[in-house]
Chain A
């Protein structure tokens, strides 16, 4: 039950943070990507399937409701979930560096992709100044936020088994 609540609730809270709270509460305009942190941590903790599906569903919602292009956020979060899932069960569970680096790199790639999409749709700004002033600080913030999220998620999921674990034990 706890697992289900976390799996469904965390992306919803992250969408709320990204679209409502971080718009008003941020550090000199720089804000982390909470949804990307969730997707990255899900990928590392639960595997690529969960993370990619969560990223796809949440990304499509963001595209429809807030985006200018349908599919942009969905593609970014799906790819981030799939990439994060490649680290599933490949390191010690106490290692917070891996989810943090995955989230930071994912945020860097995603922000760069969205910035290029903005340029493509007629926005005017210098990409390299945006890289220094926003993309890199935002990626670092996402990395730091994912450490906190990973720690909370790991504690919440401790003792909780997913379907694959149950199958292994049943055999």
Chain B
């Protein structure tokens, strides 16, 4: 009871209680309030500078430690493989749609007049529980909630809240994220969802695969355009392990490695055309 006579402790406990209530009230998707927008806009340039500095330092040390012959050869081979994969994706997209933009961005079947906004990644949520990150472009640049976010390799996520000069993006690998996809080779529709991993790289689970589907490791998974948020044909990832062939309600059919490298994400593109089309 002595604790309750301690005024600062009582005030702090009340504040914690209020903050918990606030957290519960704001747990769903919602628009950013003007207070949050203002706080974020003031802090955004500082955070952008910090992000650039941090990336510079990390890249410097990466170059410094990648100096042995084996490391350099490994790096060159990795670049070569990435280049080949990129060329393969570009050729497939050109053959399907014959459009230069689709090949460059590694996704296909975009509507006419598609516009993208390039934005730097200026920070990520701390810890492993929420795979969300903040980008340095917002409402003033044409970014809106539910717009898809991509990088050159493929799908990155979806915009979940927007302020004037910044926006929060929920990553594809977030464990609350799911997207309707199809197997590029067999055209079977299914779903993928993020998996919470404490390890370094994020993974995806593939589920709702039709019975008897011929899924093999190495199959490329792309969006199927259902739901209207993500354009059809955006690369999501590659199947690494097939765990179950038959469809079931909740069972996982395969593990998918995301195409985007979420550990080294420095810049992303927000596809803004859908919102522009909706405007009168």
Closest B residue by C-beta to A63: B23
CB <8 Å contact, A28 and B200 = yes
Question: Would you give the 0/1 interface string for A67-96, flagging 1 where the beta carbon is closer than 8 Å to chain B?
Answer: 111111111001100100000000000000
Instruction: Assess whether B123 is interfacial by the CB under 8 Å rule.
Output: yes
**Residues in B neighbouring A60, C-beta threshold 8 A:** 39
CB <8 Å contact, A68 and B8 = no
Instruction: Assess whether B130 is interfacial by the CB under 8 Å rule.
Output: yes
Q: A61-B39, A68-B27, A78-B19 are in contact. Are A18 and B175 (CB under 8 A)?
A: no
Q: Which residue of B16, B54, B198 is within 8 Å of A78 (Cβ)?
A: B16
Distance A66 CA – B31 CA, assembled complex (angstroms)? 14
Question: Would you give the 0/1 interface string for B26-46, flagging 1 where the beta carbon is closer than 8 Å to chain A?
Answer: 111000000010011001000
CB <8 Å contact, B124 and A133 = no
- In A30-77, the 8 Å CB interface with B consists of 30-31, 33, 35, 48-49, 52, 56, 60-75
**Residues in A neighbouring B54, C-beta threshold 8 A:** 16, 20-21
Q: Is the interface of A mostly helix, strand, loop or mixed?
A: helix
Closest A-B pairs by Cβ, 7 of them? A71-B22, A75-B19, A71-B19, A122-B176, A71-B23, A18-B126, A118-B129
A–B Cβ pairs within 8 angstroms, 27 of them: A16-B50, A19-B126, A20-B54, A21-B58, A23-B263, A30-B198, A33-B127, A52-B8, A56-B15, A61-B43, A66-B123, A66-B124, A66-B132, A68-B125, A68-B132, A70-B26, A70-B36, A71-B20, A71-B21, A75-B15, A75-B20, A82-B8, A82-B16, A123-B176, A124-B193, A124-B196, A134-B198
Given contacts A16-B54, A64-B40, A66-B134, 12 further A-B contacts (CB under 8 A): A18-B127, A35-B126, A52-B8, A65-B43, A66-B126, A66-B133, A70-B23, A71-B21, A75-B20, A78-B16, A82-B9, A118-B175
Chain B residues with a Cβ under 8 A of chain A? 8-9, 12-13, 15-16, 18-24, 26-28, 36, 39-40, 43, 47, 50-51, 54-55, 57-58, 123-130, 132-134, 160, 166, 168, 174-176, 193, 195-200, 263-264
Chain A residues with a Cβ under 8 A of chain B? 16, 18-26, 28-31, 33, 35, 48-49, 52, 56, 60-75, 78-79, 82, 111, 114-115, 117-118, 120-125, 130, 133-134, 138
